Structure 1
Protein backbone atom coordinates (compact mmCIF):
# COMPACT_ATOMS: atom_id res chain seq x y z
CA UNK A 1 0.00 0.00 0.00
CA UNK A 2 2.84 2.38 0.81
CA UNK A 3 4.48 1.83 -2.59
CA UNK A 4 1.13 2.15 -4.36
CA UNK A 5 0.46 5.51 -2.68
CA UNK A 6 3.94 6.75 -3.57
CA UNK A 7 3.44 5.76 -7.22
CA UNK A 8 -0.05 7.30 -7.37
CA UNK A 9 1.31 10.55 -5.91
CA UNK A 10 4.04 10.44 -8.56
CA UNK A 11 1.44 10.01 -11.30
CA UNK A 12 -0.60 12.97 -10.02
CA UNK A 13 2.44 15.26 -9.85
CA UNK A 14 3.59 14.23 -13.34
CA UNK A 15 0.09 14.62 -14.79
CA UNK A 16 -0.28 18.22 -13.65
CA UNK A 17 3.34 18.85 -14.67
CA UNK A 18 2.19 18.76 -18.32
CA UNK A 19 0.39 22.04 -17.63
CA UNK A 20 3.56 23.59 -16.22
CA UNK A 21 5.65 22.23 -19.09
CA UNK A 22 3.30 23.67 -21.70
CA UNK A 23 2.98 27.01 -19.90
CA UNK A 24 6.74 27.37 -19.62
CA UNK A 25 7.14 27.02 -23.39
CA UNK A 26 5.53 30.44 -23.83
CA UNK A 27 8.72 32.01 -22.44
CA UNK A 28 11.74 29.73 -23.00
CA UNK A 29 12.87 26.87 -25.24
CA UNK A 30 12.26 23.21 -24.37
CA UNK A 31 15.89 22.25 -23.72
CA UNK A 32 16.48 25.36 -21.58
CA UNK A 33 13.38 24.52 -19.57
CA UNK A 34 14.57 20.95 -19.00
CA UNK A 35 18.09 22.09 -18.06
CA UNK A 36 16.74 24.50 -15.45
CA UNK A 37 14.12 22.18 -13.98
CA UNK A 38 16.43 19.17 -13.66
CA UNK A 39 19.15 21.34 -12.15
CA UNK A 40 16.62 22.74 -9.69
CA UNK A 41 15.41 19.22 -8.97
CA UNK A 42 18.95 18.12 -8.10
CA UNK A 43 19.57 21.20 -5.95
CA UNK A 44 16.32 20.66 -4.06
CA UNK A 45 17.61 17.27 -2.87
CA UNK A 46 21.10 18.42 -1.86
CA UNK A 47 20.11 19.37 1.72
CA UNK A 48 18.77 15.85 2.25
CA UNK A 49 21.87 14.41 0.59
CA UNK A 50 24.22 16.34 2.88
CA UNK A 51 22.29 15.23 5.96
CA UNK A 52 22.14 11.58 4.92
CA UNK A 53 24.24 8.98 6.70
CA UNK A 54 25.13 7.01 3.59
CA UNK A 55 28.37 8.71 2.65
CA UNK A 56 30.52 5.57 2.89
CA UNK A 57 28.11 3.54 0.80
CA UNK A 58 27.96 6.24 -1.86
CA UNK A 59 31.76 6.51 -1.96
CA UNK A 60 31.98 2.74 -2.36
CA UNK A 61 29.49 2.83 -5.25
CA UNK A 62 31.59 5.47 -7.01
CA UNK A 63 34.77 3.45 -6.59
CA UNK A 64 33.05 0.37 -7.99
CA UNK A 65 32.28 2.24 -11.19
CA UNK A 66 28.53 2.34 -10.63
CA UNK A 67 28.49 5.92 -11.87
CA UNK A 68 28.09 4.31 -15.31
CA UNK A 69 24.65 3.08 -14.23
CA UNK A 70 23.75 6.59 -13.12
CA UNK A 71 24.93 7.96 -16.46
CA UNK A 72 22.75 5.50 -18.40
CA UNK A 73 19.72 6.32 -16.23
CA UNK A 74 20.32 10.00 -16.96
CA UNK A 75 20.59 9.30 -20.71
CA UNK A 76 17.24 7.48 -20.77
CA UNK A 77 15.69 10.30 -18.76
CA UNK A 78 17.14 12.95 -21.06
CA UNK A 79 15.92 11.20 -24.21
CA UNK A 80 12.37 10.94 -22.91
CA UNK A 81 12.24 14.40 -21.39
CA UNK A 82 13.78 16.20 -24.38
CA UNK A 83 11.47 14.61 -26.96
CA UNK A 84 8.43 15.05 -24.74
CA UNK A 85 9.19 18.71 -24.06
CA UNK A 86 9.74 19.46 -27.74
CA UNK A 87 6.50 17.67 -28.59
CA UNK A 88 4.49 19.66 -26.03
CA UNK A 89 5.29 22.81 -28.01
CA UNK A 90 3.10 21.45 -30.84
CA UNK A 91 0.37 19.54 -28.99
CA UNK A 92 -1.94 19.91 -25.98
CA UNK A 93 -1.13 18.89 -22.41
CA UNK A 94 -3.94 16.32 -22.38
CA UNK A 95 -2.89 14.65 -25.63
CA UNK A 96 0.76 14.65 -24.59
CA UNK A 97 -0.21 12.99 -21.31
CA UNK A 98 -2.16 10.20 -22.99
CA UNK A 99 0.48 9.56 -25.65
CA UNK A 100 3.24 9.50 -23.04
CA UNK A 101 1.15 6.90 -21.23
CA UNK A 102 1.89 4.52 -24.11
CA UNK A 103 5.12 3.67 -22.27
CA UNK A 104 2.97 1.64 -19.86
CA UNK A 105 2.29 -0.82 -22.69
CA UNK A 106 5.92 -0.70 -23.79
CA UNK A 107 7.21 -1.68 -20.33
CA UNK A 108 6.03 -5.32 -20.48
CA UNK A 109 6.79 -5.54 -24.21
CA UNK A 110 10.36 -4.27 -23.88
CA UNK A 111 10.64 -6.16 -20.60
CA UNK A 112 11.46 -9.27 -22.60
CA UNK A 113 15.00 -7.89 -22.80
CA UNK A 114 15.21 -8.28 -19.02
CA UNK A 115 13.44 -11.64 -18.90
CA UNK A 116 9.97 -10.17 -18.30
CA UNK A 117 7.77 -11.69 -20.99
CA UNK A 118 4.60 -9.84 -22.02
CA UNK A 119 2.37 -12.63 -23.36
CA UNK A 120 -0.92 -12.22 -25.20
CA UNK A 121 -2.21 -9.54 -22.84
CA UNK A 122 0.79 -7.36 -23.60
CA UNK A 123 0.19 -7.57 -27.33
CA UNK A 124 -3.54 -6.97 -26.90
CA UNK A 125 -2.78 -3.88 -24.84
CA UNK A 126 -0.33 -2.64 -27.45
CA UNK A 127 -2.90 -3.01 -30.26
CA UNK A 128 -5.54 -1.16 -28.23
CA UNK A 129 -3.09 1.61 -27.38
CA UNK A 130 -1.94 1.99 -30.99
CA UNK A 131 -5.58 2.14 -32.12
CA UNK A 132 -6.17 4.83 -29.53
CA UNK A 133 -3.15 6.76 -30.78
CA UNK A 134 -4.65 6.72 -34.27
CA UNK A 135 -7.92 8.33 -33.16
CA UNK A 136 -6.10 10.70 -30.83
CA UNK A 137 -3.36 11.90 -33.17
CA UNK A 138 -4.33 11.18 -36.80
CA UNK A 139 -6.78 13.53 -38.49
CA UNK A 140 -7.96 13.32 -42.09
CA UNK A 141 -5.43 11.42 -44.18
CA UNK A 142 -2.93 9.17 -42.43
CA UNK A 143 -0.50 11.64 -40.92
CA UNK A 144 0.51 11.98 -37.29
CA UNK A 145 1.01 15.50 -35.98
CA UNK A 146 4.67 16.38 -35.47
CA UNK A 147 4.29 17.06 -31.76
CA UNK A 148 2.40 13.81 -31.19
CA UNK A 149 5.15 11.87 -32.98
CA UNK A 150 7.85 13.35 -30.76
CA UNK A 151 5.90 12.52 -27.62
CA UNK A 152 5.27 9.00 -28.95
CA UNK A 153 9.01 8.41 -29.42
CA UNK A 154 9.66 9.78 -25.93
CA UNK A 155 7.47 6.98 -24.56
CA UNK A 156 10.12 4.43 -25.65
CA UNK A 157 12.74 6.26 -23.59
CA UNK A 158 10.46 6.48 -20.54
CA UNK A 159 9.67 2.76 -20.78
CA UNK A 160 13.40 2.01 -20.91
CA UNK A 161 13.92 4.31 -17.93
CA UNK A 162 11.28 2.49 -15.84
CA UNK A 163 12.79 -0.91 -16.69
CA UNK A 164 16.34 0.24 -16.05
CA UNK A 165 15.44 1.75 -12.67
CA UNK A 166 13.75 -1.50 -11.67
CA UNK A 167 17.01 -3.27 -12.44
CA UNK A 168 19.45 -0.95 -10.67
CA UNK A 169 17.57 1.03 -8.00
CA UNK A 170 17.87 -1.67 -5.33
CA UNK A 171 21.67 -1.43 -5.53
CA UNK A 172 21.81 2.35 -5.03
CA UNK A 173 21.26 4.93 -2.36
CA UNK A 174 18.03 6.64 -3.61
CA UNK A 175 19.35 10.19 -3.13
CA UNK A 176 22.60 9.42 -4.92
CA UNK A 177 20.79 7.87 -7.90
CA UNK A 178 18.22 10.68 -8.01
CA UNK A 179 20.67 13.56 -7.92
CA UNK A 180 23.09 11.81 -10.28
CA UNK A 181 20.58 11.18 -13.06
CA UNK A 182 19.13 14.70 -12.70
CA UNK A 183 22.55 16.30 -13.11
CA UNK A 184 23.28 14.16 -16.17
CA UNK A 185 19.94 15.15 -17.70
CA UNK A 186 20.46 18.84 -16.85
CA UNK A 187 23.93 18.87 -18.44
CA UNK A 188 22.76 17.15 -21.62
CA UNK A 189 19.77 19.51 -21.83
CA UNK A 190 22.09 22.50 -21.50
CA UNK A 191 24.28 21.20 -24.33
CA UNK A 192 21.18 20.64 -26.48
CA UNK A 193 19.97 24.19 -25.71
CA UNK A 194 23.30 25.68 -26.77
CA UNK A 195 23.43 23.68 -30.00
CA UNK A 196 19.84 24.54 -30.91
CA UNK A 197 20.46 28.25 -30.36
CA UNK A 198 17.94 28.75 -27.56
CA UNK A 199 18.26 32.09 -25.80
CA UNK A 200 16.98 33.32 -22.46
CA UNK A 201 16.78 36.77 -20.88
CA UNK A 202 15.68 38.01 -17.47
CA UNK A 203 12.11 38.73 -18.61
CA UNK A 204 11.71 35.27 -20.15
CA UNK A 205 13.17 33.62 -17.08
CA UNK A 206 10.82 35.54 -14.79
CA UNK A 207 7.82 34.53 -16.88
CA UNK A 208 8.80 30.87 -16.88
CA UNK A 209 9.86 30.77 -13.21
CA UNK A 210 6.57 29.37 -11.78
CA UNK A 211 6.61 26.56 -14.38
CA UNK A 212 10.31 25.89 -13.74
CA UNK A 213 9.69 25.80 -9.98
CA UNK A 214 6.90 23.23 -10.25
CA UNK A 215 8.75 21.20 -12.88
CA UNK A 216 11.99 21.26 -10.89
CA UNK A 217 10.89 20.84 -7.28
CA UNK A 218 7.71 18.78 -7.68
CA UNK A 219 7.99 16.90 -11.00
CA UNK A 220 11.73 16.20 -10.73
CA UNK A 221 12.89 16.55 -7.12
CA UNK A 222 9.83 14.98 -5.50
CA UNK A 223 8.12 12.76 -8.11
CA UNK A 224 11.14 11.09 -9.73
CA UNK A 225 12.60 10.44 -6.28
CA UNK A 226 9.34 8.87 -5.11
CA UNK A 227 9.46 6.68 -8.22
CA UNK A 228 12.95 5.45 -7.34
CA UNK A 229 12.00 4.70 -3.73
CA UNK A 230 8.79 2.87 -4.73
CA UNK A 231 10.45 0.86 -7.50
CA UNK A 232 12.98 -0.60 -5.10
CA UNK A 233 10.25 -3.06 -4.05
CA UNK A 234 7.65 -2.80 -6.83
CA UNK A 235 7.56 -4.97 -9.97
CA UNK A 236 7.99 -2.76 -13.06
CA UNK A 237 4.62 -3.77 -14.52
CA UNK A 238 2.98 -3.17 -11.15
CA UNK A 239 4.53 0.30 -11.08
CA UNK A 240 3.51 0.97 -14.66
CA UNK A 241 -0.20 0.33 -14.17
CA UNK A 242 -0.35 2.92 -11.38
CA UNK A 243 1.85 5.43 -13.20
CA UNK A 244 -0.51 5.27 -16.19
CA UNK A 245 -2.92 7.40 -14.13
CA UNK A 246 -0.58 10.23 -15.14
CA UNK A 247 -2.56 10.41 -18.38
CA UNK A 248 -5.82 11.10 -16.58
CA UNK A 249 -4.27 13.76 -14.37
CA UNK A 250 -2.74 15.41 -17.45
CA UNK A 251 -6.12 15.61 -19.19
CA UNK A 252 -7.71 16.90 -15.98
CA UNK A 253 -5.02 19.54 -15.55
CA UNK A 254 -5.28 20.66 -19.18
CA UNK A 255 -9.06 21.01 -18.87
CA UNK A 256 -9.05 22.83 -15.51
CA UNK A 257 -6.05 25.11 -15.95
CA UNK A 258 -5.58 25.56 -19.71
CA UNK A 259 -9.20 25.23 -20.89
CA UNK A 260 -8.19 22.42 -23.25
CA UNK A 261 -10.88 20.11 -24.55
CA UNK A 262 -10.64 16.78 -26.35
CA UNK A 263 -12.95 16.23 -29.31
CA UNK A 264 -15.24 13.16 -29.27
CA UNK A 265 -12.78 11.40 -31.63
CA UNK A 266 -9.80 12.26 -29.44
CA UNK A 267 -11.70 11.24 -26.30
CA UNK A 268 -12.48 7.86 -27.88
CA UNK A 269 -8.80 7.44 -28.74
CA UNK A 270 -7.76 8.38 -25.21
CA UNK A 271 -10.20 5.80 -23.83
CA UNK A 272 -8.72 3.10 -26.07
CA UNK A 273 -5.20 4.07 -24.95
CA UNK A 274 -6.16 3.84 -21.29
CA UNK A 275 -7.82 0.46 -21.94
CA UNK A 276 -4.62 -0.75 -23.62
CA UNK A 277 -2.53 0.40 -20.68
CA UNK A 278 -4.74 -1.47 -18.22
CA UNK A 279 -5.21 -4.65 -20.31
CA UNK A 280 -1.45 -4.98 -20.75
CA UNK A 281 -1.10 -5.26 -16.96
CA UNK A 282 -4.11 -7.36 -15.94
CA UNK A 283 -2.54 -10.79 -16.36
CA UNK A 284 0.53 -9.86 -14.36
CA UNK A 285 -1.53 -8.42 -11.49
CA UNK A 286 -3.75 -11.51 -11.32
CA UNK A 287 -0.69 -13.79 -11.32
CA UNK A 288 0.94 -11.79 -8.51
CA UNK A 289 -2.20 -12.11 -6.35
CA UNK A 290 -2.38 -15.88 -6.95
CA UNK A 291 1.28 -16.29 -6.00
CA UNK A 292 0.72 -14.36 -2.76
Structure 2
Protein backbone atom coordinates (compact mmCIF):
# COMPACT_ATOMS: atom_id res chain seq x y z
CA UNK A 1 0.00 0.00 0.00
CA UNK A 2 2.90 2.32 0.80
CA UNK A 3 4.51 1.76 -2.62
CA UNK A 4 1.18 2.31 -4.39
CA UNK A 5 0.81 5.68 -2.67
CA UNK A 6 4.36 6.67 -3.64
CA UNK A 7 3.77 5.63 -7.26
CA UNK A 8 0.55 7.65 -7.36
CA UNK A 9 2.36 10.75 -6.10
CA UNK A 10 5.06 10.28 -8.75
CA UNK A 11 2.38 9.92 -11.43
CA UNK A 12 0.74 13.16 -10.26
CA UNK A 13 4.16 14.79 -10.47
CA UNK A 14 4.59 13.58 -14.05
CA UNK A 15 1.11 14.88 -14.91
CA UNK A 16 1.91 18.37 -13.63
CA UNK A 17 5.29 18.42 -15.37
CA UNK A 18 3.65 17.32 -18.60
CA UNK A 19 1.52 20.43 -18.65
CA UNK A 20 4.43 22.60 -17.49
CA UNK A 21 6.36 22.38 -20.78
CA UNK A 22 3.82 24.70 -22.38
CA UNK A 23 4.26 27.31 -19.63
CA UNK A 24 8.04 27.14 -20.00
CA UNK A 25 7.86 27.58 -23.77
CA UNK A 26 5.48 30.55 -23.44
CA UNK A 27 7.62 32.16 -20.75
CA UNK A 28 10.65 32.13 -23.06
CA UNK A 29 8.80 34.56 -25.34
CA UNK A 30 9.15 37.34 -22.76
CA UNK A 31 12.15 36.85 -20.45
CA UNK A 32 15.56 35.15 -20.47
CA UNK A 33 16.07 31.53 -19.31
CA UNK A 34 17.95 32.54 -16.13
CA UNK A 35 15.29 35.13 -15.25
CA UNK A 36 12.51 32.60 -15.78
CA UNK A 37 14.34 29.98 -13.68
CA UNK A 38 15.05 32.49 -10.89
CA UNK A 39 11.44 33.63 -10.56
CA UNK A 40 9.92 30.13 -10.83
CA UNK A 41 12.21 28.68 -8.12
CA UNK A 42 11.65 31.69 -5.86
CA UNK A 43 7.88 31.30 -6.27
CA UNK A 44 8.21 27.60 -5.43
CA UNK A 45 10.07 28.42 -2.20
CA UNK A 46 7.62 31.14 -1.13
CA UNK A 47 4.67 28.86 -1.88
CA UNK A 48 6.03 26.18 0.47
CA UNK A 49 6.58 28.44 3.49
CA UNK A 50 2.87 28.62 4.48
CA UNK A 51 2.56 24.91 3.68
CA UNK A 52 5.36 24.07 6.14
CA UNK A 53 3.85 26.36 8.80
CA UNK A 54 0.42 24.75 8.33
CA UNK A 55 1.87 21.23 8.65
CA UNK A 56 3.69 22.18 11.85
CA UNK A 57 0.58 23.80 13.31
CA UNK A 58 -1.56 20.80 12.36
CA UNK A 59 0.90 18.35 13.91
CA UNK A 60 1.10 20.36 17.13
CA UNK A 61 -2.67 20.69 17.34
CA UNK A 62 -3.21 16.94 16.97
CA UNK A 63 -0.08 16.13 19.01
CA UNK A 64 1.59 14.22 16.20
CA UNK A 65 5.27 13.53 16.65
CA UNK A 66 7.26 15.76 14.35
CA UNK A 67 10.38 14.52 12.61
CA UNK A 68 13.60 15.95 14.05
CA UNK A 69 15.33 18.23 11.54
CA UNK A 70 18.95 17.28 10.92
CA UNK A 71 20.32 20.73 10.10
CA UNK A 72 23.57 19.45 8.62
CA UNK A 73 21.84 17.12 6.16
CA UNK A 74 19.20 19.76 5.44
CA UNK A 75 21.76 22.43 4.49
CA UNK A 76 23.94 20.09 2.43
CA UNK A 77 20.90 18.46 0.82
CA UNK A 78 19.33 21.83 -0.05
CA UNK A 79 22.57 23.02 -1.67
CA UNK A 80 23.09 19.80 -3.65
CA UNK A 81 19.46 19.50 -4.78
CA UNK A 82 19.25 23.22 -5.52
CA UNK A 83 22.44 23.15 -7.59
CA UNK A 84 21.32 20.26 -9.80
CA UNK A 85 17.83 21.74 -10.06
CA UNK A 86 18.99 25.18 -11.25
CA UNK A 87 21.55 23.56 -13.57
CA UNK A 88 19.00 21.24 -15.17
CA UNK A 89 16.18 23.78 -15.44
CA UNK A 90 18.49 26.42 -16.93
CA UNK A 91 19.89 24.02 -19.53
CA UNK A 92 16.35 22.98 -20.39
CA UNK A 93 15.19 26.61 -20.68
CA UNK A 94 18.08 27.51 -23.00
CA UNK A 95 17.41 24.38 -25.03
CA UNK A 96 13.73 25.22 -25.43
CA UNK A 97 14.70 28.41 -27.27
CA UNK A 98 15.45 26.33 -30.38
CA UNK A 99 14.01 22.87 -29.57
CA UNK A 100 10.31 22.04 -29.92
CA UNK A 101 8.41 20.72 -26.90
CA UNK A 102 8.03 17.13 -28.13
CA UNK A 103 11.72 16.73 -28.87
CA UNK A 104 12.73 18.44 -25.62
CA UNK A 105 10.45 16.19 -23.56
CA UNK A 106 11.94 13.10 -25.24
CA UNK A 107 15.57 14.11 -24.61
CA UNK A 108 14.81 15.30 -21.06
CA UNK A 109 13.17 12.00 -20.17
CA UNK A 110 16.37 10.16 -21.06
CA UNK A 111 17.30 10.71 -17.41
CA UNK A 112 15.66 7.30 -16.90
CA UNK A 113 18.76 5.83 -18.61
CA UNK A 114 21.28 7.85 -16.65
CA UNK A 115 19.72 7.16 -13.24
CA UNK A 116 20.58 3.40 -13.22
CA UNK A 117 23.95 4.01 -14.92
CA UNK A 118 25.05 6.63 -12.38
CA UNK A 119 23.41 4.60 -9.60
CA UNK A 120 25.79 1.71 -10.25
CA UNK A 121 28.73 3.93 -9.25
CA UNK A 122 26.86 4.81 -6.04
CA UNK A 123 26.36 1.17 -5.12
CA UNK A 124 22.72 0.88 -6.24
CA UNK A 125 21.64 -2.57 -7.38
CA UNK A 126 19.96 -2.95 -10.76
CA UNK A 127 17.93 -6.03 -11.72
CA UNK A 128 17.26 -7.57 -15.12
CA UNK A 129 13.60 -6.54 -15.12
CA UNK A 130 14.53 -2.91 -14.41
CA UNK A 131 17.01 -2.95 -17.31
CA UNK A 132 14.31 -4.47 -19.54
CA UNK A 133 11.82 -1.83 -18.39
CA UNK A 134 14.23 1.02 -19.17
CA UNK A 135 14.87 -0.34 -22.69
CA UNK A 136 11.14 -0.77 -23.42
CA UNK A 137 10.36 2.66 -22.01
CA UNK A 138 13.04 4.31 -24.17
CA UNK A 139 11.62 2.65 -27.30
CA UNK A 140 8.14 3.78 -26.33
CA UNK A 141 9.38 7.30 -25.62
CA UNK A 142 11.04 7.49 -29.03
CA UNK A 143 7.89 6.32 -30.82
CA UNK A 144 5.81 8.75 -28.80
CA UNK A 145 7.89 11.91 -29.16
CA UNK A 146 9.97 11.67 -32.34
CA UNK A 147 8.00 11.91 -35.57
CA UNK A 148 10.90 12.32 -38.00
CA UNK A 149 14.58 11.47 -37.97
CA UNK A 150 16.56 13.13 -35.19
CA UNK A 151 18.87 15.91 -36.33
CA UNK A 152 21.01 17.00 -33.41
CA UNK A 153 21.55 20.72 -32.91
CA UNK A 154 23.08 22.87 -30.17
CA UNK A 155 19.76 23.12 -28.35
CA UNK A 156 19.51 19.32 -28.29
CA UNK A 157 22.89 19.07 -26.56
CA UNK A 158 21.75 21.51 -23.88
CA UNK A 159 18.61 19.47 -23.20
CA UNK A 160 20.70 16.27 -23.23
CA UNK A 161 22.97 17.73 -20.52
CA UNK A 162 19.81 18.75 -18.68
CA UNK A 163 18.74 15.06 -18.65
CA UNK A 164 22.02 14.12 -16.97
CA UNK A 165 21.46 16.92 -14.45
CA UNK A 166 17.96 15.68 -13.62
CA UNK A 167 19.33 12.15 -13.17
CA UNK A 168 21.80 13.51 -10.60
CA UNK A 169 18.93 15.43 -8.98
CA UNK A 170 16.89 12.23 -8.59
CA UNK A 171 19.85 10.36 -7.08
CA UNK A 172 20.70 13.18 -4.67
CA UNK A 173 17.08 13.26 -3.49
CA UNK A 174 17.14 9.47 -3.04
CA UNK A 175 20.01 9.91 -0.59
CA UNK A 176 18.94 12.94 1.45
CA UNK A 177 15.24 12.06 1.75
CA UNK A 178 16.25 9.35 4.25
CA UNK A 179 17.65 11.99 6.60
CA UNK A 180 15.39 15.05 6.39
CA UNK A 181 11.76 16.08 5.95
CA UNK A 182 10.79 16.11 2.27
CA UNK A 183 8.77 19.35 2.23
CA UNK A 184 11.45 21.30 4.10
CA UNK A 185 14.15 19.88 1.81
CA UNK A 186 12.10 20.95 -1.21
CA UNK A 187 11.75 24.49 0.16
CA UNK A 188 15.48 24.60 0.88
CA UNK A 189 16.41 23.50 -2.63
CA UNK A 190 14.21 26.20 -4.14
CA UNK A 191 15.81 28.97 -2.07
CA UNK A 192 19.26 27.70 -3.03
CA UNK A 193 18.30 27.42 -6.70
CA UNK A 194 16.70 30.88 -6.75
CA UNK A 195 19.84 32.42 -5.21
CA UNK A 196 22.03 30.84 -7.90
CA UNK A 197 19.50 31.89 -10.54
CA UNK A 198 19.60 35.48 -9.27
CA UNK A 199 23.40 35.54 -9.49
CA UNK A 200 23.28 34.32 -13.09
CA UNK A 201 20.51 36.79 -13.93
CA UNK A 202 22.74 39.62 -12.68
CA UNK A 203 25.29 38.67 -15.33
CA UNK A 204 22.80 38.16 -18.18
CA UNK A 205 20.50 41.10 -17.45
CA UNK A 206 17.19 41.79 -15.70
CA UNK A 207 13.89 41.54 -17.60
CA UNK A 208 12.00 44.74 -18.30
CA UNK A 209 8.81 45.29 -16.29
CA UNK A 210 6.48 45.08 -19.30
CA UNK A 211 7.76 41.65 -20.38
CA UNK A 212 7.79 40.39 -16.79
CA UNK A 213 4.12 41.31 -16.39
CA UNK A 214 3.24 39.45 -19.59
CA UNK A 215 5.13 36.41 -18.30
CA UNK A 216 3.30 36.29 -14.94
CA UNK A 217 0.75 33.55 -15.90
CA UNK A 218 3.52 31.23 -17.14
CA UNK A 219 5.67 32.00 -14.08
CA UNK A 220 2.82 31.33 -11.66
CA UNK A 221 2.06 27.96 -13.18
CA UNK A 222 5.70 26.90 -13.46
CA UNK A 223 6.57 28.29 -10.03
CA UNK A 224 3.62 27.05 -8.00
CA UNK A 225 2.57 23.89 -9.83
CA UNK A 226 5.69 22.55 -11.60
CA UNK A 227 8.05 23.61 -8.81
CA UNK A 228 6.18 24.16 -5.54
CA UNK A 229 3.77 21.24 -5.90
CA UNK A 230 5.35 18.78 -8.35
CA UNK A 231 8.97 18.85 -7.18
CA UNK A 232 7.83 18.58 -3.57
CA UNK A 233 5.67 15.57 -4.42
CA UNK A 234 8.69 14.07 -6.19
CA UNK A 235 10.86 14.40 -3.10
CA UNK A 236 8.20 13.00 -0.77
CA UNK A 237 7.33 10.16 -3.16
CA UNK A 238 10.93 9.05 -3.72
CA UNK A 239 11.32 7.96 -0.10
CA UNK A 240 11.60 4.17 -0.01
CA UNK A 241 11.35 3.84 -3.81
CA UNK A 242 13.98 2.55 -6.25
CA UNK A 243 15.34 5.68 -8.04
CA UNK A 244 15.24 3.97 -11.45
CA UNK A 245 11.59 2.97 -11.03
CA UNK A 246 10.84 6.52 -9.91
CA UNK A 247 12.51 7.89 -13.06
CA UNK A 248 10.40 5.59 -15.26
CA UNK A 249 7.17 6.91 -13.73
CA UNK A 250 8.36 10.51 -13.93
CA UNK A 251 9.17 10.06 -17.64
CA UNK A 252 5.42 9.74 -18.26
CA UNK A 253 5.36 13.56 -18.24
CA UNK A 254 5.65 13.35 -22.05
CA UNK A 255 2.52 11.21 -22.29
CA UNK A 256 0.57 13.37 -19.87
CA UNK A 257 1.56 16.47 -21.82
CA UNK A 258 -0.06 14.93 -24.89
CA UNK A 259 -3.16 14.03 -22.88
CA UNK A 260 -3.55 17.70 -21.91
CA UNK A 261 -3.20 18.60 -25.57
CA UNK A 262 -6.10 16.25 -26.40
CA UNK A 263 -8.30 17.57 -23.59
CA UNK A 264 -7.70 21.30 -24.03
CA UNK A 265 -6.23 21.85 -27.50
CA UNK A 266 -8.28 19.33 -29.50
CA UNK A 267 -5.12 17.48 -30.53
CA UNK A 268 -5.21 13.83 -31.66
CA UNK A 269 -2.78 11.03 -30.86
CA UNK A 270 -1.57 8.93 -33.79
CA UNK A 271 -1.29 5.14 -33.72
CA UNK A 272 2.49 5.51 -33.36
CA UNK A 273 2.03 7.74 -30.31
CA UNK A 274 -0.51 5.37 -28.76
CA UNK A 275 1.91 2.46 -29.21
CA UNK A 276 4.71 4.47 -27.63
CA UNK A 277 2.56 5.45 -24.66
CA UNK A 278 1.44 1.84 -24.20
CA UNK A 279 5.07 0.64 -24.16
CA UNK A 280 5.97 3.23 -21.51
CA UNK A 281 3.12 2.10 -19.27
CA UNK A 282 4.10 -1.53 -19.93
CA UNK A 283 7.64 -0.76 -18.75
CA UNK A 284 6.35 0.47 -15.41
CA UNK A 285 4.16 -2.61 -15.02
CA UNK A 286 7.19 -4.83 -15.70
CA UNK A 287 9.07 -3.31 -12.78
CA UNK A 288 6.30 -4.53 -10.47
CA UNK A 289 6.11 -8.09 -11.80
CA UNK A 290 7.81 -10.96 -10.04
CA UNK A 291 9.51 -13.35 -12.40
CA UNK A 292 9.66 -16.85 -10.95
CA UNK A 293 12.13 -19.14 -12.61
CA UNK A 294 10.80 -22.66 -12.36
CA UNK A 295 13.46 -25.23 -11.73
CA UNK A 296 12.91 -28.95 -12.09
CA UNK A 297 13.55 -30.69 -8.82
CA UNK A 298 15.81 -33.65 -8.90
CA UNK A 299 15.03 -36.65 -6.78
Q: Same fold (TM over 0.5)?
A: yes
Change (3 A) 1:145 1:131: farther
Q: 1:248 aligns with which of 252, 255, 269?
A: 255
Superposed displacement of residue 146, structure 1: 1.9
Question: In the comparison of the two structures, how many residue pairs are matched?
Answer: 281
- Given that residues 106 and 141 in structure 2 are in contact (C-alpha distance below 8 angstroms), is that contact kept between their aligned partners in structure 1? no
Alignment gaps of 5+ in structure 2: 294-299
**Matched residue, 1:192:** 200
Question: Which structure has more helix as a fraction of its residues?
Answer: 1
Superposed displacement of residue 23, structure 1: 0.3
| 1:225 equivalent in alignment to 2:232 | yes
**Matched residue, 1:40:** 43
Per-residue displacement from partner, 1:235-292 (whole Å, max 9, x unpaired)? 2122222111101123445677789999x9xx9699779858965x6764334999xx
Q: 1:100 aligns with which of 98, 103, 108?
A: 108
CA–CA distance in structure 1, aligned partners of residues 235 and 164 of structure 2? 19
Q: 2:187 aligns with which of 179, 182, 186?
A: 179
Superposed displacement of residue 120, structure 1: 5.8
- Given that residues 23 and 211 in structure 1 are in contact (C-alpha distance below 8 angstroms), is that contact kept between their aligned partners in structure 2? yes
Change (3 A) 1:43 1:175: same
Q: Compute the TM-score of the two structures, normalised by the length of structure 1.
A: 0.81
**Matched residue, 1:214:** 221
User: Radius of gyration: which is bigger?
Assistant: 2
Change (3 A) 1:133 1:146: farther
Q: 1:21 aligns with which of 24, 29, 41?
A: 24
CA–CA distance in structure 1, aligned partners of residues 231 and 245 of structure 2? 16
CA–CA distance in structure 2, aligned partners of residues 73 and 81 of structure 1? 12
- Given that residues 94 and 250 in structure 1 are in contact (C-alpha distance below 8 angstroms), is that contact kept between their aligned partners in structure 2? no
Q: 1:147 aligns with which of 150, 155, 165?
A: 155
- What RMSD over aligned residues (CA atoms) do the two structures have, in Å? 3.5
Q: Compute the TM-score of the two structures, normalised by the length of structure 2.
A: 0.79
- Given that residues 19 and 254 in structure 1 are in contact (C-alpha distance below 8 angstroms), is that contact kept between their aligned partners in structure 2? no
Per-residue displacement from partner, 1:123-166 (whole Å, max 9, x unpaired)? 664598499769977978x8512222211110011111111111
Change (3 A) 1:81 1:30: same
- Given that residues 67 and 181 in structure 2 are in contact (C-alpha distance below 8 angstroms), is that contact kept between their aligned partners in structure 1? no
**Matched residue, 2:5:** 2
